[in-house]
Amino acid sequence: MAFDRLIEKIIETQNPTVVGLDPKLSYIPEEIVNECFKKYGENAEGAAQAFLIFNKGIIDAVCDIVPAVKPQCAYYEALGWQGMKALAQTIEYAQSKGMFVIEDGKRNDIGSTMEMYAVAHLGENKVGENTFKPFGADALTVNGYLGTDGIQPLLPICEKEDKGMFVLVKTSNKSSGELQDRVLDSGDTIYNAMGKMCEEWGKESCGKYGYSAVGAVVGATYPKQLSEMRKLMPHTFILVPGYGAQGGTAEDVKGAFDERGLGAIINSSRGILTAWQKKGLDGKDFAKGAREAALEMKADITSKIPQIK
């Protein structure tokens, strides 16, 4: 149920972090890019193949030490349908290596349209007699601005297939406060109100660790709000972006965890994907650089939180 599978992977690896797979050609060793251009053309297909090879290398390098990956849809969509194919292949590959996949698509819509997003990203589709998984991720990020009509359509799939969602509550960016920090006449901030809605949406779906299928996104760049939301949303698992490149530190994110060292997963994308460049490694060692950076991140975060159990 709910995020039990993710939590078990976190306990197994003793690592509450997720590697963001936000590929750009500039992060990928030249040899890989050139080989793909030669084989598939200097075009969307060539770039998509380079994304896939790079992602597979990162996944191979971290799958025994990191519980999850988080591909960000925008980077794949920017290569059109070829990029979306690479996204689906990346998700499938990560799962074949035992990883939990959080698709970062921040999708939102209502009713039967939101059901289509559920089918697309978490479930199965059926055409004639054939069923297939369009993207088949384990969890999806969503935007709750439309209310229950945008959340409820995901719940049956979450329940049936042990999947989850993360609703944007307090995002990591500078301007997140323009709307999210405004104060309602009830005295709540908007992000507070959204957090309470997450608790409400999730209340029927708590798993064995006490967390529901409705998680939340709260940024590492707002440590005070992270601690506040951990308390306000006791059944809501938190996905925390903004560590590393965006400025969040281990000290900043520790308030997202409960007394068992659970309740949150911290994302790093650029910090892992471009580690080989920052460490001055050769392109052929890009995966080695990612593994080192992932271990450094694990050590950094776990040094500040209770032992995971």
Annotated catalytic sites, by residue? 106
Contacts of 147 (CB under 8 A, 6+ apart): 197
Contacts of 148 (CB under 8 A, 6+ apart): 197, 201
Map the footprint of its own copies across residues 165-224, applying CB under 8 A. 168, 171-180, 182-186, 190, 193-194, 197
Provide the terminal-to-terminal Cα distance of the chain, rounded to the nearest Å.
Answer: 18
How far is residue 53's CA from residue 28's CA, in Å, rounded to a whole number?
9
Least Å distance between CB 302 and its own copies? 27
DSSP 307: P
Q: Which of 37, 162, 199, 210 binds its own copies (CB under 8 A)?
A: 37
Asked whether the beta carbons of 265 and 10 are under 8 A apart, the reply is: yes
Is 117 a binding residue for its own copies by CB under 8 A? The answer is: yes
Q: How many CB atoms lie within 10 A of CB 74?
A: 12
Choices 59-67, 124-132, 271-279, 300-308 (CB under 8 A): range interacting with its own copies:
124-132
Is 146 a binding residue for its own copies by CB under 8 A? The answer is: yes
Map the footprint of its own copies across residues 261-280, applying CB under 8 A. none
Least Å distance between CB 76 and its own copies? 8
Least Å distance between CB 299 and its own copies? 27
Least Å distance between CB 121 and its own copies? 7
The phi, psi pair for 160, rounded to 5°, reads: -70, -40
Choices 53-61, 131-139, 257-265, 273-281 (CB under 8 A): range interacting with its own copies:
131-139
Strand partners, 87: none
Strand partners, 140: 103, 165
Between 13 and 141, CB nearer to its own copies: 141
Map the footprint of its own copies across residues 77-96, applying CB under 8 A. 77-85, 87-88
Structure tokens at 109: 């819509």
